[in-house]
Chains A and B, each alone.
Chain A
Amino acid sequence: MKRFVAIGALAAAVIALHLLFAAAGAEYLLVQLTMAAYYALVVIGLCLLMGYAGQISLGHAAFFALGGYTAAVLSTNSFTQLMGAPALERLVHWGLVTAGTDAYGAAAHQVPVWLSLPLAVAAAAAVALVIGIPVLKLKGHYLAMATLGFGTILYRIFLGTRLFGEADGISSVRPCALLPGLTIGGDTALRTQNYYFAWALVLLAMVLSLNIVSSRAGRALRSIHGSEEAAAAMGVNTARYKLYVFILSAVFAAVGGFFMTHFNGGIGPAEAGIMKSVRYVAIVAVGGMANLWGSLLIGVLLNFLSLRGIFGSYDDAVFGALLVFIMALAPDGILRREFLHRIMRVRIRWPFSK
């Protein structure tokens, strides 16, 4: 019950922010809120993985980028250059590719979204499956190192491959028409519908995640976090659960990346970078690990500020510093009663005195 109230409150807040910004004549802020929502999808998935299943991933930006690059490659000339005209014509004939024109009026092909989105999801799920089986056997530092390695590999692949536009990334990704009257793209006229669509996705992800967490599966996940051996002794198939959550979180990230890329009109290798992954981990840590609402709130807030350029060129440093701060002072996140109490009664203490 409490869950539905919270979800309702989130929906109300989404509408309220829109009305507020509209009234203040600052509707351009919806753009950053839309982007923050897509990043929030990564955070929600990572929160399930880290906070509930207790598995860290320092490579989650790679899944976001995987979704994004799938969108980009399939809706620009990137992929048509790979095949000859006859093959392309056949695909068009079968309806798997639509022919159109790009922003400059030149001929351009695009894979329709009913196909490209499932492909992005499948790509992320497949990579998560292949990576997850060996990697999730590891624990602690080893898991962190392995996921870091995986993230680095994908980053270098995006950075070094022609198909992915190398260091420039892929730009002029065209909007995708999802439904009549709903087009994902960066056009000013589309701003409001994109804002609501992105947040509808977040709401959906939250409902799904909250349900998982409070179900039998959620208890199983938290038990893995508590003690993996004991969980196995209770009959919880720990390996399978860890893998499922890893795949689910990868899919969340890929969906975020997919729509973000259509919304932004492009994607670059920085989205797959290690600093992005660290940022997601920092957000979940600040939000309080096993705290979906906390992670969502902090994620939207920090990403919004970051996208507004508040942190200037110290952007990455801010997230790094946050991580240090949290681990040292509030390992359970800042949205905890104990921590907030402590803040209320701050006493300045020198580090060396008792």
Chain B
Amino acid sequence: MLRIRNLESGYGSLRVLKGISLHVNSGEIVTIIGANGAGKTTLLETIAGVVAASSGEILFDGRDLVTLSPERIVAAGCSLVPEGRQVFAPMTVRENLVLGAYIRSGREGKAAVAEDIDAIHRHFPILKERDGQLAGTLSGGEQQMLAIGRALMARPRLIMLDEPSMGLAPIIVRGIFEIIGRLRAEGNTILLVEQNAMASLGIADRGYVMETGQIVLEGTARELMENHDVQRAYLGKEYRSIGEGRG
């Protein structure tokens, strides 16, 4: 579904991505793990068209996204749940969801959007309760659910999630990962960026390890979990903290 070859991008003269190649098959959860500053967010934003690629190609169902604008990429079926959630704080929960359908609402009208909101409410009942509340006043976990729901409103075929566990309590993180699992069970394809390697490898089919703008390791989630380098660099600390969360 998604195939990236030798992708390079950055900010001004700063090169962040130094030739990334990866692919995501339809129906998979693929995770990208890596330390702070590795370029994970930059990668997702480059795919989404928010950051411009300087070379390489991003084939989405055979179509190159590199030259497309962000709105075309969303319209093509590729949605990003940005890092730090970034819900539209001064707008209500419902307005946030309606905005998620922004590229469709011009064509499809209100009824279709309202139907989709009902579907989101079935996924996230809490969002129904909070329908008229300002998004900025939601808790962190609720905001994350809203951000995911908002991305789903575009009816994407590929959902990219940037650190959905960021800043959330372990119990909330578990809830979010359950939702991600459910989304896959419904046939969604997911590209998941995480620092919480334990949780994300636990749910993913395959994974990539990214360091300073390059892919240094790839494999099935199980292979990566059993890899010594990965265990030392990414799993040691996380394992304990998740254990504590359960206790």
Write the chain B residue with the least CB distance to A224.
B88
Report if B169 contacts A (CB, 8 A): no
Chain B neighbourhood of A226, CB < 8 A: 86-91, 135
Indicate if the CB atoms of B87 and A230 lie closer than 8 Å: yes
Is B39 interfacial (CB 8 A cutoff)? no
Known A-B contacts A229-B82, A234-B154, A235-B103; the reply to A219 vs B74 at CB < 8 A is no
* Residues in A214-254 with C-beta less than 8 Å from chain B: 216, 219-220, 222-223, 225-227, 229-237
Whole-angstrom distance between the alpha carbons of A135 and B68 in the complex?
23
Output the residue of A219, A233, A235, A237 with the most chain B CB within 10 A.
A233
Query: Which residues from chain B contact A230 at a C-beta distance below 8 Å?
Result: 82, 86-88
Q: Is the CB of B98 within 8 A of A233?
A: no
Q: Which residues of A contact B88 (CB under 8 A)?
A: 222-223, 225-227, 230-231
Of the candidates A216, A227, A236, A290, the one whose C-beta lies within 8 Å of that of B71 is A236
B67 at the interface (CB under 8 A from A): no
Interface residues of B in 87-125 (CB under 8 A from A): 87-91, 95, 98-100, 102-103, 105-106
User: B224 near A: Cβ within 8 Å?
Assistant: no
Inter-chain CA distance A223–B90, complex, in Å, is 8
Contact between B102 and A234 (Cβ–Cβ < 8 Å)?
A: yes
Q: Which size class do B's interface residues fall under? A: 20 to 34
Main secondary structure of the interface of A (DSSP, over half): helix
Q: Does A216 contact B106, Cβ atoms closer than 8 Å?
A: yes
- B7-43 interface code vs A (CB 8 A; 1 in, 0 out): 0000000000000000000000000000000000000
The verdict on A233 contacting B106 (CB below 8 Å), with A219-B99, A222-B88 known, is no
Q: In the complex, how many angstroms separate the beta carbon of B105 from the nearest chain A beta carbon? A: 6
Q: Please name 8 pairs of A and B residues whose Cβ atoms are closer than 8 Å in the assembled complex, sorted by A.
A: A219-B99, A222-B95, A223-B88, A226-B89, A227-B86, A227-B89, A233-B80, A234-B102
Q: Using a CB–CB distance below 8 Å, which chain B residues touch chain A?
A: 45, 48-50, 69-71, 73-75, 79-80, 82, 86-91, 95, 98-100, 102-103, 105-106, 135, 150-151, 154
- Give me 7 other A-B pairs in contact (C-beta within 8 A), A234-B99, A235-B74 excluded: A222-B88, A223-B88, A230-B82, A231-B88, A232-B49, A235-B70, A237-B70
